[in-house]
Amino acid sequence: MLFHDEDHVFSKKPDAALVANRSGCHARLIARSIEAGLPVLTEKPIDYSREVSRELIHLSQRSEVPTCVNLEFMFSENIEAFANMLSTRNLNQIRLCWHDPEFEIRHGERKYGEFGTPIVHDSLPHCWSVLRTLFPTKHFVLTRIVVESNHSILFRGQMGETSTEISLSRRGSSRVRKIAVNEGEMILDFSREPGTLTLDGTLTSLRWLGKRPLQRSIEAFLNYASQPSRVPRHALQHFEDAIDLSVVAQDKLDKAYQTILKRMEDAGELSLDNPRAKTILSDWLPSRLERHNHPIRSDQNSVNCFCEWAISTRAWENRVK
């Protein structure tokens, strides 16, 4: 059955809740579901703020309502197998690349990048979940952000003693999901699942031996809902580290973009004639305004109007939260 009224849905007393609406509205529905005693499986992000996200974690724990975040790559058998291989290697460096094109055809439909959601709350949580699967006892400590000329964003830091880089982009030439270790000594490429493994120069095509990640994620949630003592890896209570990472990364990224735009302004280059300025303003700024989560349309006229407004009002400096 399809309902258009939220109150009507809750009046039907469902058995559980799947929160997959607009990103900026997740927190309210998560809270309402928990307060109704419904086990919750939510898409990321939980919320854009550290305070609201932590309150939802505490609400779930106080209410003893099973709540999970659907980061399905935590249940990928190939990433789990890759993690086991890493345990036998000396790790000096690891690079995780997570790129999406501006739009692509998937399952017969055109899919556009989720520019209405900040990239650190959209793509970065997936990367966090992959790193947590590879290094369950370690934390990614973010030290620096570099905005590259091709519009990708490089997050540099450490996983324990291992130098770690995460490259994110929503304007890539193609879909890329790749983990490279020690400058290519080991590479897991799952851009097209199940993917390929390169080990010391030898390429092997992978195949699924068991259930797919999404199915495993949903089944783990349903088991948790029926047996709350069996806390799964994607339970909400395990995500404070991911929340902190996204908030810290957003602060650093805001400052990096503002610095770039200020340099452009000082050089007289902040205008609609500057493609890089337009890309930064249209990719980053809509989701960071107080009226965030109302992304501009992708047609060129809408982009130009928004960028012209942002430049004339200096919204990129004055209105970012």
Task: Provide the residue ranges of all domains of the chain, joining segments of one domain with +.
Answer: 6-71+215-239, 72-209, 244-318
Q: How far apart are CA 119 and CA 174, in angstroms?
A: 17
Token representation of residue 255? 């400052």
Determine the topology of domain 72-209 in CATH.
Dihydrodipicolinate Reductase; domain 2 (3.30.360)
218 φ/ψ angles, rounded to the nearest 5 degrees: -65, -45
Whole-number pLDDT of residue 98:
97
Token representation of residue 109? 């439909």
Whole-number pLDDT of residue 112:
66
Whole-number pLDDT of residue 292:
47
Q: Which residues, 6 or more positions from 134, have their beta carbon under 8 angstroms from its beta carbon?
A: 79, 82, 83, 86, 94, 179
176 pairs with which residues across the strands?
Answer: 99
Domain 6-71+215-239 has CATH 3.40.50.300: no
Residues 69/211, Cβ–Cβ less than 8 Å: no
In eight-state DSSP terms, residue 140 is E
Token representation of residue 207? 């195949």
Q: Which residues, 6 or more positions from 174, have their beta carbon under 8 angstroms from its beta carbon?
A: 99, 101, 104, 191
pLDDT 10s digit of each residue in the chain, 321 long?
A: 666 788 888 998 999 999 998 888 899 999 999 999 999 999 999 999 999 999 999 999 999 999 999 999 999 999 999 999 998 899 999 999 999 998 777 667 776 666 778 999 999 999 999 999 999 999 999 999 999 988 899 999 999 999 999 999 998 999 999 999 999 999 999 999 999 999 999 999 999 999 999 999 999 999 999 999 999 999 999 999 999 999 999 999 999 999 999 999 999 999 999 999 998 998 888 888 754 445 566 667 888 898 999 999 999 987 675
Whole-number pLDDT of residue 282:
86
**Which CA distances in Å does 92 have to 60, 84, 88, 251?**
38, 16, 13, 28
- Measured in whole angstroms, the distance separating CA 157 from the mean position of its chain's CA atoms is 17
Whole-number pLDDT of residue 1:
60
Whole-number pLDDT of residue 276:
93
How large is the C-alpha radius of gyration of the chain? 21
- Measured in whole angstroms, the distance separating CA 296 from the mean position of its chain's CA atoms is 20
